[in-house]
A and B are shown apart, each in its own frame.
Chain A
């Protein structure tokens, strides 16, 4: 393949595109004009709005963008893996924290009072026997 052939190919490709652009049918041209008009209206509305008025729009756009990103399969699997890891970590933490919970119960003031009461009842029984 020489340079001349490459140039010829590129020239033909340009011709093809030029022809396609010129010969677009009316239906497509109307749709393109509609799209353009809507885009320009959007630009005007945006220019007229103050930043705080744009906030809900930006937030909505962010949600839409996020949902677009979420359509990507590799990201979905990454998020799913993250959720599983967090769930396992949380589960392990819950298991580790159980003895701590027991200690908390044992160290509660109410329980100490109950133990003190028991000691008192033991003392009372012993006092009765001895007395």
Chain B
């Protein structure tokens, strides 16, 4: 079991981090979310059949992202009363973004600069989506979950999944066209 859970966590850790980072835009917060999700999985569901770990982990991760978002919203409101934006680490976040991207020598030499720029624009556009649209878009397009699985993972109706997904795609298309 020890080996199984290790293999499973290893297989999802990078994806989980990328999703959390896309939602929070903060390295430490993203790592905290991954940590909480992994701990919750092993504490509550390690004894469940292995095939269930994937959907359970996705659900836990999305729930942790939502919790983070709510807490951060409250924090932002409180700080805004005192005339502070609440993100004391804007500079740190900027540094994170730089760290997030690889050093030039790590790039594939064949990839064109235009393509890199397009990906960067897309990253920015996804980051700017509202939380629900972002979650639905990432689960549907990146994780390749179907409507029903996405609805279960986030805890919303299938109708809402379709609406959020369609809005997200429209919004991203629009932003990518603006950049062209």
Could you tell me which A residues sit within 8 Å of B by CB distance?
1, 5-6, 9-10, 12-17, 19-21, 23-25, 27-28, 31-32, 35-36, 38-40, 42-44, 46-47, 61, 68, 71-73
Contacts and interface: CB of A to CB of B under 8 A. Distances in A.
Nearest to A44: B2
A82 to B, nearest CB: 21
Interface residues of B, number: 45
Contacts of B46: 43, 46-47
A27 B156 CA distance: 35
A13 B126 contact: yes
A24 B17 contact: yes
A120 B23 CA distance: 89
B14 A21 contact: yes
B34 A9 contact: no
Contact of B142 (A13, A27, A31): A13
Nearest to B126: A13
A68 B17 CA distance: 22
Contact of B31 (A15, A19, A32, A68): A32
B179 to A, nearest CB: 12
Given A16-B122, A28-B99, A36-B9, 11 more contacts: A1-B169, A9-B173, A9-B176, A13-B142, A20-B18, A28-B27, A39-B35, A39-B38, A46-B42, A71-B74, A72-B70
Given A14-B142, A36-B9, A47-B46, A1 B173 contact: yes
A10 B42 contact: no
Contacts of B101: 23
Contacts of B10: 36
Interface in B12-42: 13-15, 17-18, 21, 27, 31, 34-35, 38-39, 41-42
Interface of B: 1-2, 5-6, 9-10, 13-15, 17-18, 21, 27, 31, 34-35, 38-39, 41-43, 46, 67, 70-71, 74, 99-102, 106, 118-119, 122-123, 126, 137-138, 141-142, 169-170, 172-173, 176
Contacts of A20: 18, 21, 100, 123
A43 B34 contact: no
A13 B122 contact: yes
A16 B169 contact: no
Contacts of A1: 169-170, 173
Given A12-B118, A16-B123, A23-B101, A42 B39 contact: yes
Contacts of B176: 9
B13 A43 contact: no
A14 B130 CA distance: 19
A43 B42 contact: yes
A36 B39 CA distance: 9
Nearest to B119: A16
Contacts of B172: 9, 13
